[in-house]
Amino acid sequence: MNISVKTASHTYEVIIGHRILAEAFAKYEQLFDKADQIIVLTDKHVWQAQEKYFTDNASFSFKTYIMPAGESCKSFENYEAVQTFLLEQRSTRKSLIIAFGGGAVGDLAGFVAATYMRGIPFIQVPTTILAHDSAVGGKTAINHKLGKNMIGAFYQPQAVLYDTMLLSSLPEREVLSGMAEVVKHAMISDAQWLEEMLEGDLVHLPEQLLAQYLASGIRVKANIVEQDETEQSVRKYLNLGHTYGHAIEAAAGYGRLAHGEAVMIGLVYCLLLSERYGKITRNFTKRFLHFAVANGYPFATVKDYSFDELTTYLLKDKKAEYGELQFVLLKTIGEPFMQKVELTVCQEVDNELRNLIAEVVS
């Protein structure tokens, strides 16, 4: 299936399906023919698992640069190393980058493409569930030791080619990490869809249902990005769960807690805030937490980090303005809104979260 993403900078397609890589590549034959060289940026785990499938389906010649896996891919050192590789290969403005990997590879490759010679084209070929979110919408970034995704650019790909066959080798933890973003998309858009997920098992979804959920999530994101490409208004809704989640992720040290695991913790924190500022009930929050714990999300890790530790990262959130914290919250499921929250309230709700986790996990 094809999903169109229409932004102010340009329009592109997300092609999603099972074993569609060769067909999708063929659709962009003219783009490949125009490139003086094609550079595939990937990581060592993805390339080890999927090199044969990629190579068998690519009808064009390419050079490969293999990067470290995980968040270390998004370091200044790796960013510089990739730029050095492009310069050594004498890449030009007519060169094309293919990001072949998960969210970290896509974020890094997109920022490299945005900044090499002030911008060259790139294509996203996601290999994880999590990347159904990160590959669409043009957010690119690398990490700084003082904050995640702080150095980046809005830069749209030429296309997103999403072959769900590439998901078959994902470990369970990666599946859970990715599904957290799917749950987030349901929470900001569709109460009935969320209800359907709350009754199920996120890890062992039938292939067709997984593809349906991913396509639905991409449509939610595409619709929001079309309205607000550079996150001036409604695009902030896509950050539901991310303010507190990023703080937990950063406090843990990037890579120790999977991004989606941190986001799922952040979603429960936002539900607690939404009890105060919206119409979410404590019964629903507890039900959601039970669902998340039953699916294997590591809520017990919250106790490893004090609120004081998290505060440093909360105040560095990109949505913070003039020292005030801004959270995406829910009036009801499917109705997100922005809310300024004082740090003292954040601490109270952090304490509520810890008590609720102790109650449910025990």
Instruction: Tell me the DSSP string of 216-240.
Output: HHHHHHHHHHHH-TTSSSGGGGGGT
> What's CA 207's distance to the chain center, in Å?
21
Say what the pLDDT of residue 316 is. 81
User: Is the CB of residue 52 less than 8 Å from the CB of residue 82?
Assistant: no
Active site residue 118: yes
If asked whether residues 22 and 141 sit together in one domain, one would say: yes
Active site residue 221: yes
Active site residue 139: yes
If asked whether residues 156 and 222 sit together in one domain, one would say: no
Say what the pLDDT of residue 169 is. 83
Amino acid (1-letter code) at residue 15: I
Pairing between strand 139-144 and 147-154?
A: antiparallel
**Which of these is catalytic: 242, 261, 318, 352?**
242
39 Cβ partners below 8 Å, 6+ apart? 62, 63, 64, 65, 85, 86, 89, 91, 95, 96, 97, 98
- The answer to whether the Cα torsion of 9, 14, 15, 19 is positive or negative is positive
What is the pTM assigned to this prediction? 0.90
**Which of these is catalytic: 74, 132, 139, 185?**
139
If asked whether residues 106 and 182 sit together in one domain, one would say: no
Boundary residue ending a domain (167, 201, 217): 167
If asked whether residues 186 and 42 sit together in one domain, one would say: no
Active site residue 181: yes
If asked whether residues 71 and 176 sit together in one domain, one would say: no
Active site residue 231: yes
Active site residue 71: no
**Which of these is catalytic: 229, 231, 261, 352?**
231
Q: Please state, in angstroms and rounded to a whole number, the distance separating the CA atoms of residues 57 and 218.
A: 24
If asked whether residues 219 and 352 sit together in one domain, one would say: yes
Task: Tell me how many domains the chain contains.
Answer: 2
**Which of these is catalytic: 71, 181, 229, 249?**
181
If asked whether residues 127 and 236 sit together in one domain, one would say: no
Paired residues of 65 in beta bridges: 41
For tokens 């159904």, name the residue. 132
Active site residue 359: no
Active site residue 331: no
If asked whether residues 11 and 113 sit together in one domain, one would say: yes
Helix (H, G, I), strand (E, B) or coil at 142: strand
Say what the pLDDT of residue 322 is. 61
Residue 351's domain comprises 172-361
If asked whether residues 264 and 357 sit together in one domain, one would say: yes
Amino acid (1-letter code) at residue 38: I
Return the CATH number at 262.
1.20.1090.10
**Which of these is catalytic: 52, 90, 118, 204?**
118
**Which of these is catalytic: 132, 221, 236, 318?**
221
Boundary residue ending a domain (167, 200, 231): 167
Active site residue 259: yes
If asked whether residues 323 and 292 sit together in one domain, one would say: yes
If asked whether residues 177 and 152 sit together in one domain, one would say: no
If asked whether residues 158 and 10 sit together in one domain, one would say: yes
**Which of these is catalytic: 74, 132, 219, 235?**
235
Say what the pLDDT of residue 321 is. 66
Mean pLDDT by 10 residues, the chain (362 residues): 89 95 96 97 96 96 95 94 98 98 96 98 96 92 85 96 92 94 97 95 91 94 90 90 93 86 98 98 98 96 95 80 84 97 95 96 78
**Which of these is catalytic: 57, 143, 149, 239?**
239
**Which of these is catalytic: 74, 219, 246, 318?**
246
